[in-house]
Amino acid sequence: MSLFKFLAVILATCGSNCGLPTKPLHYAESLKEFKVTEKIFTDVILSMAEGIPHLGDYRRHYSEITHSIYHIATVLAHNCNQIDTKDLYDRLVEEAVAEVIGNPREVVETTQQFFDDFNAKTTAIQNLINISCAADINERDCDEVIQNFILDDPEKYATEANIILIAGESAKAFNSNSDKFNYISKELEAHKFVSKQSAELKNVVDALTKLLYVMDPTNPPC
């Protein structure tokens, strides 16, 4: 066992919170999952910043799916996860699609702003995860080290750690559908999909809604 790993395990086991029976949460896995999502968006959506492609480009269709998810989740986050009618869902989809078609650069900028905002609001916990997991250490030990630091300094880390965990769940929901979204977009069927398949998008929308809710302290208490 390396010296770093030995010290990491000791810190996780004892530290200033020695004796508190706390099961470590999946911080490292959550950040890793979110970074997979960020890479997908960088390759597909943010790449359009270099030059907006024609309407037949699959990236424009992919952005219909992602921007519809984001737009609906944003509205839900401000309304305690409540959409009362199918008519409202349809209206939100049409608003998102209209923006994708009419103002694709704004869609790219909105996407970039989301990731910039997320990274700014989780800087401390991301740095902690990256440092704690940098050496030859398994993920569980890594999470124990991270959790020990969070317990030692909750004012610095607790809010950001919560965001990271929720982001991991949101990313997992999206990533599990990414191949499907890719296929639908290359078939140029995105508009039909988001219009007709609200049930299929529900898990992705709900997971992102939770993330947007915790990222914005101005959202109403629910």
72-83 pLDDT, tens digit each: 999 999 887 676
Please determine, for residue 165, whether its predicted confidence score (pLDDT) is greater than 50.
Answer: yes
Average pLDDT on 40-59 reads 96
Please determine, for residue 16, whether its predicted confidence score (pLDDT) is greater than 50.
Answer: no
Q: How far is Cα 96 from Cα 188, in angstroms, rounded to an integer?
A: 16
Please determine, for residue 5, whether its predicted confidence score (pLDDT) is greater than 70.
Answer: no
The predicted pLDDT at position 89 comes to 85
The predicted pLDDT at position 81 comes to 66
The predicted pLDDT at position 221 comes to 78
Residue 180 and residue 62 in contact, taking contact as beta carbons nearer than 8 Å = no
Nearest CA to 33 among 129, 168, 126? 168
Please determine, for residue 15, whether its predicted confidence score (pLDDT) is greater than 70.
Answer: no
- The pLDDT > 70 percentage for the chain reads 86
Average pLDDT on 162-169 reads 98
Give the residue, 19 or 63, on which the prediction is more confident: 63
Lowest mean pLDDT, pick from 27-36, 37-46, 77-86, 170-179? 77-86
Give the residue, 199 or 5, on which the prediction is more confident: 199
Calculate helix-pair angle for 58-77, 198-215, nearest 10 degrees: 60
* Residue recorded with tokens 């910039």: 116
Q: How far is Cα 124 from Cα 106, in angstroms, rounded to an integer?
A: 29
* Residue recorded with tokens 């704004």: 106
Which amino acid would we find at residue 199? A
Q: How far is Cα 142 from Cα 130, in angstroms, rounded to an integer?
A: 10
Span 184-220, pLDDT tens digits = 999 999 999 998 877 889 999 999 999 999 999 877 7
Residue ranges per domain, the chain? 26-215
Which amino acid would we find at residue 70? Y
Span 99-146, pLDDT tens digits = 999 999 999 999 999 999 999 999 999 999 999 988 766 777 899 999
The predicted model scores a pTM of: 0.86
What is each CA distance from 2 to 135, 196, 201, in whole angstroms?
A: 9, 55, 45
Give the residue, 67 or 134, on which the prediction is more confident: 67
Average pLDDT on 154-164 reads 97
Alpha-carbon torsion angle 221, 117, 150, 220, nearest 10 = 0
Please determine, for residue 61, whether its predicted confidence score (pLDDT) is greater than 60.
Answer: yes
Please determine, for residue 88, whether its predicted confidence score (pLDDT) is greater than 90.
Answer: no
- b/e per residue 151-172 (b: at least 16 CB within 10 A): eeeeeebebbbebbbbbbbbbb
What DSSP string describes 98-135?
Answer: HHHHH-HHHHHHHHHHHHHHHHHHTHHHHHHHHHHTSS
What is each CA distance from 171 to 26, 34, 116, 208, in whole angstroms?
A: 13, 5, 16, 8
